[in-house]
Structure 1
Amino acid sequence: MKKASIFMIIGPLLLIGLYFFPLWNIILGAPQYPEPLGMNIHIDGIRDMNEFDLKNIDGLNHYIGMRTLPKPEDMWEFSTFPIVIGGMVALGVLIGLLGYFGKLSYKWFAGWFILMSILGVLGMYDFNAWMVDYGTNLDPHAIMKLANPDGTPMTYKPPLLGHAKMLNFDVTSLPETGAWLMFLGMMLTLLAFYLGWKNRNSTTQ
């Protein structure tokens, strides 16, 4: 149980990487841009991939009626997510410590994993909902009003994951370092649960 508890302590600590590394990355490439434009999605805001990228993206979006990219103060998520992540780190470490000293069952490790998974799914849903609104709720007075072949207004929702073609831009959306650290941390807590379950009849439990 002690070995399992150590993994349970290390796993949530990896989530601290979300405060330093981006969670997601969206890249826009086009022939007129030798260096692709990109934005890094952090838990507390959206930042340039390269200098002036956000400014250039907002300039392009203006022509097709998309809103400017939100500042941290424009979205409640950017102030809430850091608190939620901090709470999950503290909770996970506490569970690991209590498990190490034999105060909690290994089943609590699975509880943390399930709770973190639910929060992750809700976060992805919220992120996708924001992109839908951002790419479809366009200014009716935009300079360029483009339509699909069937006559419906064209939308510009970036893909949640993967690649999409929008006008002459190739848009790629992929998880970044922070997301991979979170995934690794969650896998360690799942390993901790497995080790605890495997050794559930040992005298160290």
Structure 2
Amino acid sequence: MKKAGILMILGPLFLLGLYVFPLWNIMLGAPQYPDPLGLNIHINGLRGVSEFDIQNIDGLNHYIGMHTLPKAEEMWEFGTFPMVIGIMVGIGVLIGVLGYLGKVNYKWFLGWFLLMSILGILGMYDFNEWLVDYGTNLDPNAIMKLTNPDGSPMTYKPPLLGHVKMLNFDVTSLPSTGAWLMFMGMMLTLVAAFMGWKSTKNQN
């Protein structure tokens, strides 16, 4: 159980990478932009991949009526997510230490993994809802008012995951370094739960 406990301590620590690296990345490429415009989504705010990317994205969005990208203080998520991650790291490490000392069993490891998975799914749902609002809640007084072939207003929701063509832009949305570190950390806790279960089984 000691090896399982060590893994359970290490796993949540990988989530600390979310305070340094972006969670998600959205890239916009078009013929008039040899260097694609990029947006990094961090748990505490939005940042451009290059210096003027946010300014340029906001400039393009203005023409089609999309809102400017929100600042950190304009979205409650950017204040809440860092606290949630910090709490989950603390709980996970504590469970790992208690597991190492033989005070809790593998079910606690699995419980942390399931709770973190639920929080991750809720976070993705919230992110997608923001993308829907961002891409469909357009200014009726926009300079350019484009419509679909059926006459309905065109919307510009970026994909949650993958690639889509919007006008002459190729938009790609993918997990970034922080998300992969979180995934690796969660997988370590799952391995810890399996090792703890196996250790318990062998003792019976």
Q: Which range, TM-score by smaller chain? A: over 0.9
Q: Which runs of 4+ in 1 moved over 3 A?
A: none
Amino acid aligned to 1:87? I
Alignment partner, residue 181 of structure 2: 181
Q: How many residues align?
A: 204
Q: Deviations over 1:119-157 (max 9, x none)?
A: 000000000000000000000000000000011000000
Corresponding position: 1:24 with 2:10: no
Q: Deviations over 1:151-200 (max 9, x none)?
A: 10000000000000000000000000000000000000000000001110
Alignment partner, residue 75 of structure 2: 75
Amino acid aligned to 2:13? L
Structure 1 Cα separation of the partners of residues 92 and 167 of structure 2: 45
- Which residues of structure 1 form unaligned runs of 5+? none
What is the aligned-residue identity percentage?
Answer: 76
Amino acid aligned to 1:194? F
Alignment partner, residue 166 of structure 2: 166
Alignment partner, residue 195 of structure 2: 195
Amino acid aligned to 2:174? L
Alignment partner, residue 63 of structure 1: 63
Structure 2 Cα separation of the partners of residues 27 and 59 of structure 1: 16
Q: Deviations over 1:86-144 (max 9, x none)?
A: 00000000000000001111110000000000000000000000000000000000000
Structure 2 Cα separation of the partners of residues 24 and 172 of structure 1: 11
Across the aligned residues of Structure 1 and Structure 2, the Cα RMSD in angstroms comes to 0.9
Amino acid aligned to 1:51? E
Structure 2 Cα separation of the partners of residues 118 and 156 of structure 1: 28
Amino acid aligned to 2:56? N
Displacement of 1:202 in angstroms is 4.7
Superposition TM-score, scaled by structure 2 size: 0.99
- Which residues of structure 2 form unaligned runs of 5+? none
Corresponding position: 1:112 with 2:126: no
Amino acid aligned to 2:139? D
Which residues of 2 match residues 84-95 of structure 1 at below 5 A?
84-95=84-95
